[in-house]
Amino acid sequence: MSHKFFSRVLPVALLGGLVFSCAKDYVTGKRVFNLMSESQEIALGKEADPQIVAEYGIYDDAKLAEFVNRVGQDIARVSHRPNIQYTFRVVDSPIVNAFALPGGYVYFTRGILAHFNSEAEMAGVMGHEIGHVTARHGAEQQSKGQLAQLGLGLGSVLSEDFNRFSGIAQLGVGLLFLKFSRSQESESDLLGVEYSTRLGYNAHEMAGFFRTIGRLSGGNEGERLPSYLSTHPDPGDREVRVNQLAGEWQTKVPYQPKNLNRLDYLRMIDGVVYGEDPRQGFVENNVFYHPGLRFQFPVPEKWLVANSPQSVDMQSPEKNAGIQFTLGKGTTPQQAADNFVTGAQATVIRRENARVHGMTAVVLETSLQSQNTALQVLSYFIQKEQNIFVFHGFTTPAVYTKVYGTFTSVMAGFDELRNQAALNKKPNRVRIETAKQDADLATALKGFGMKDDMLKELSILNGMTTEARVKRGDPIKVVRP
């Protein structure tokens, strides 16, 4: 939960004005059924982009961002839609994924950049994502009504209703959960091969990256951003097919291989944050710590936690209650409470002034009603220096009394962070080392102090097996603070 990206974004209603129409397929040139015009498609991406930025944050590395943008713009120029404006961003997430919004917005996580082992791998995946844009796959899926909802996995109207009441925007993040069809994935694979090959990249390396993807797990249940595997359903043996396509396209176009050095790419990601960044908040021993904003609060045992720049969300093991922690609207706890009641059209059950570890606070019990369900909410609005921090504990009236004590212990446990170990905790980073001798990868990694329980993970990070041979002088990725 980064202090730089706290924001509230209003939901956008772009779909109401859509009309039934046929649209041009920019790849095949044929007319296809699509509810969204090109201008509406571009507007959809433009409106959703700030929500993505607010939800995940932008990774703070200007050199890496410029590199990703340069490669992306080069590929966009040889694509089937070079006339639209493309925006390329590196988002601050450890999850291994890349995704595109309709209209030319393409995002790479720092997690996927850490797992690439060459510029050619990145270029192939970049071409694949641009292929989704040029073929208008996102617009097609949106038109078909296959937009999923953001959530912690609450699995019911509970989270959807509360996010609507509390002002959390759904459209931008929901677009990331679009499920593309096998034919759309296959088409984007082909386009990724075509575009990257036209620029001289070896698309066989793109095929190799699918092996890395296949070795990765799907991610933890509480993570906000889906993994590559969940947003890119596997259309069969992609590695084999992409290798075949790479060979074909190298004969179809005047292929002039780029003179690339693997080490140049590895130097680009040397120092990139790997895994969760504790500076943006972390959970340890059932306590959430935020070193940047210097606060902490208890986390209920066995509750699922999802941390993002916009909010921290916790979900009960039974998935029938949640706690949302974020910044309030207003300059005082009283004003923030008023704004919540007004904005959510809440019915106030109880309201009182309080102190939380010496900080001014307002405690509020409210009920919310929608067409789907009723919610009962316990809220704490707490002033810490210039910020108003807000907890909302929400569930159905039938469950409220059972979780009231849990809600209270979390919210009343909010306090100043004084633990020096937590304040000084550093993130792990990818570091590039040089093999000291000919050996297998596992031996080489151990030589740099890597523990046995990290060897498999590090072998995936290097795009190799632990038994693979490395030569003296070869670059190797390790992970350390």
Question: Per-residue pLDDT for 461 more than 80?
Answer: yes
Given this model, what pLDDT does residue 310 score? Answer: 83
Given this model, what pLDDT does residue 76 score? Answer: 98
Residue 181: pLDDT band (50, 70, 90) is confident
Q: Which residues, including other chains, have CB under 8 Å from residue 419's CB and lie 6 or more apart?
A: 289, 296
Q: Give CATH 3.40.1000.10 domain extents, the chain.
A: 278-423
For 77-88, the pLDDT digits (tens) are 999 999 999 999
Region 309-327 average pLDDT: 91
**What is the CATH number that goes with domain 278-423?**
3.40.1000.10
Q: What is the dihedral of CA 60, 62, 66, 72, to 10 degrees?
A: 0
CA angle 84, 15, 306 (to 5 degrees): 85
- Name the more confident of 76 and 152: 76
Distances (CA, A) of 166 to 101, 345, 346, 366, 392: 25, 10, 10, 13, 9
* Rounded distance between C-alpha atoms, residue 163 and residue 308, angstroms: 14
Region 16-21 average pLDDT: 38
For 320-340, the pLDDT digits (tens) are 999 999 999 899 999 999 999
For 81-126, the pLDDT digits (tens) are 999 999 999 999 999 999 998 899 999 999 999 999 999 999 999 9
Residue 440: Cβ-neighbour burial (10 angstroms; 0-12, 13-18, 19+)? middle
Question: Residue 126 phi/psi, 5° resolution?
Answer: -60, -45
Coil, strand, or helix at residue 213? helix
Given this model, what pLDDT does residue 453 score? Answer: 95
For 412-449, the pLDDT digits (tens) are 999 999 999 999 999 999 999 999 999 999 999 999 99
Residue 177: pLDDT band (50, 70, 90) is very low
Could you write out the DSSP letters of every residue in 396-432?
-HHHHHHHHHHHHHHHHT-EE---HHHHT---EEEEE
* Rounded distance between C-alpha atoms, residue 407 and residue 359, angstroms: 18
Coil, strand, or helix at residue 322? strand
Residue pair 289/296 in contact (Cβ under 8 Å)? The answer is: yes
* Rounded distance between C-alpha atoms, residue 421 and residue 399, angstroms: 37
For 364-404, the pLDDT digits (tens) are 999 998 767 789 999 999 999 999 999 999 999 999 999 99
* Rounded distance between C-alpha atoms, residue 325 and residue 310, angstroms: 9
Q: Say whether pTM exceeds 0.75.
A: yes
